[in-house]
Amino acid sequence: MCEVASILQDRIVMLVDLDYFFAQCEERRNPSIKGKPVVVCVYSGRTEDSGAVSTANYVARRYGVKSGIPISLAKSKLKDVDAVFLPVDKQFYREVSDEIMEILRGYADCFEQMGIDEAYLDVTQRTKGNCREAEELAATIKGDVLTQQKLTCSIGVGPNKLVAKIAADFQKPDGLTLVEPKEVQSFLAPLPVRRLVGVGRKTEKRLETLGVITVGQLARFDVQKLIGVFGRKLGAYFHNASLGVDDEPVQERSEPESVSRISTLKEDTRDLAVILDEAYRLCDEVYAKLMRRRLVYRSVSIHVVAGDLSVHSRSKTFENPTSDLKAFKRAVKELYEKFLGESGVAARRVGVKVSNLSRKEELQKQLTNFFGFPKH
Ligand code: TTP
Ligand code: MG
């Protein structure tokens, strides 16, 4: 679907980027810290303050705190300020990210997740190539993410990935920037070259020595000279990028290897009914995700984190892939029964997982071949 869109002249692509993502997740978890500078840190563990800042909310950014700086430097910038320093909790951010990505996926003709907090959506077909409709859709998406997940994001809308990305960065946080095809060059021209994907600090310096500071100057710079300096591939890329030309399709990444959910019980227990009550709820969530992504599974696992934090698991693999929820729950029940029979520990956290995933369409194809149904 999107490959067709990519060869059409006018595509509409969005880049959705969650604002100060890790720190915003922390604010959502504990709203009382909102309004204070929040700094999420990767502590290296050597000394109390050794390590780097992963990200910071916009309040902290006003004090000059940003990703990558040493924690000690962030602390000195926030001296005498009531700031909050927290360690990264990747698992929590990933869970939030997964749920948001599912919302976004539902709005795209074609979807490509780029990292934990950003994704490209090709929306050409559903907006009939109409920019205003795309802008309204972006506003709807922002509203949905906010009401369902209590997080703000910034969205850039443009004719390709390159422009959408720059547009998303243009107004942050909680921004929405539409760049129509006819505006692309005037939008890009005043920006520093560094905004283009692929222009790092070194390239920026090199371009500066050629008298090129802005994207507009890069666009006017002789392409042959550019190729002379950076080589054919990169030189041509910089030239095209400066004009806002980019044919990269929005492409779904390969399927996940597994889908899992884990949750903490109210209290540690060995009661199968209590465990299954929670585990079945997790099965429903995993199953919903499989359905949305049109995946079937062949293996089922259960996980138990015991009161002493030891981790235990059991798994089972079916002969054939299936998309059956009842079979999933039956396997989960069997595995928990087996686990409780074999082990004396009480469960603190319980989880379920499906793996050996494949596409539903492939399963159907296999079955069709197997039964020898006519192809038409
Ligand atoms: P970004 O989207 O680059 O940053 P952000 O979401 O924190 O802020 P913005 O509002 O500008 O989008 O990165 C997403 C997450 O990735 C970020 O919340 C934390 C993590 N990250 C790091 O751990 N180290 C880094 O150097 C960067 C840039 C990000
Ligand atoms: Mg972000």
From the CA of 258, how far away is ligand 2's center (Å)?
25
Identify which ligand lies nearest to the alpha carbon of 171.
1
From the CA of 22, how far away is ligand 2's center (Å)?
8
168 has a pLDDT exceeding 70: yes
Identify which ligand lies nearest to the alpha carbon of 172.
1
For ligand 1, mutation pick of 21, 38, 176 (most atoms within 8 Å of CB): 21
What whole-number distance in Å separates Cα of residue 221 and Cα of residue 223? 6
Note the pLDDT tens digit of each residue in 237-290.
Answer: 999 999 999 999 999 877 778 999 999 999 999 999 999 999 999 999 999 888
Note the pLDDT tens digit of each residue in 182-192.
Answer: 999 999 999 99
Q: Does the CB atom of residue 24 touch ligand 1 within 6 A?
A: no
Confidence of residue 5 (pLDDT cuts 50, 70, 90): very low
Locate tokens 């696992």: which residue? 301
From the CA of 28, how far away is ligand 1's center (Å)?
16
Catalytic: which of 26, 27, 112, 118? 118
Q: Does the CB atom of residue 135 touch ligand 1 within 6 A?
A: no
Q: Does the CB atom of residue 112 touch ligand 1 within 6 A?
A: no
Active site residue 285: no
Q: Does the CB atom of residue 66 touch ligand 1 within 6 A?
A: no
Q: What is the pLDDT of residue 367?
A: 54
Out of 147-161, 247-261, 310-324, 344-358, which region has the weakest mean confidence (pLDDT)?
A: 247-261
From the CA of 15, how far away is ligand 2's center (Å)?
11
Q: Which residue puts its alpha carbon closest to atom 20 of ligand 1?
A: 54
Over residues 169-197, mean pLDDT? 96
Buried b (16+ CB within 10 A) or exposed e, 76-103: ebbeeeebbbbebeeeebeebbbebbee
Identify which ligand lies nearest to the alpha carbon of 23.
1
From the CA of 250, how far away is ligand 2's center (Å)?
19
Note the pLDDT tens digit of each residue in 314-340.
Answer: 999 999 999 999 999 999 999 999 999
pTM of the prediction?
0.75
Q: Does the CB atom of residue 169 touch ligand 1 within 6 A?
A: no
Q: Does the CB atom of residue 55 touch ligand 1 within 6 A?
A: yes
Q: In what order do the strands lie in the sheet with 176-178?
A: 110-113, 118-122, 13-18, 153-158, 176-178
Q: Does the CB atom of residue 19 touch ligand 1 within 6 A?
A: yes
**Higher pLDDT residue, 362 or 110?**
110
Out of 5-19, 73-87, 223-237, which region has the weakest mean confidence (pLDDT)?
A: 5-19
**Residue 40: both structure tokens together:** 């999420």
375 has a pLDDT exceeding 50: no
**Higher pLDDT residue, 374 or 135?**
135
Note the pLDDT tens digit of each residue in 282-293.
Answer: 999 999 888 877
C-alpha pair distances (Å), 126 with each of 106, 108, 264 = 11, 8, 40
109 has a pLDDT exceeding 90: yes
Atom of ligand 1 at shortest distance to CA of 24?
18
For ligand 1, mutation pick of 24, 89, 117 (most atoms within 8 Å of CB): 117
Omega cis (within 30) before 37: no
From the CA of 204, how far away is ligand 1's center (Å)?
21
Atom of ligand 1 at shortest distance to CA of 88?
23
- Scanning the chain, the segments in alpha helix (DSSP H) are 2-7, 21-29, 58-61, 71-77, 90-105, 131-149, 161-170, 184-188, 201-209, 215-220, 223-230, 232-242, 272-292, 325-342, 360-371
Stretch (H or E) spanning 32 = none
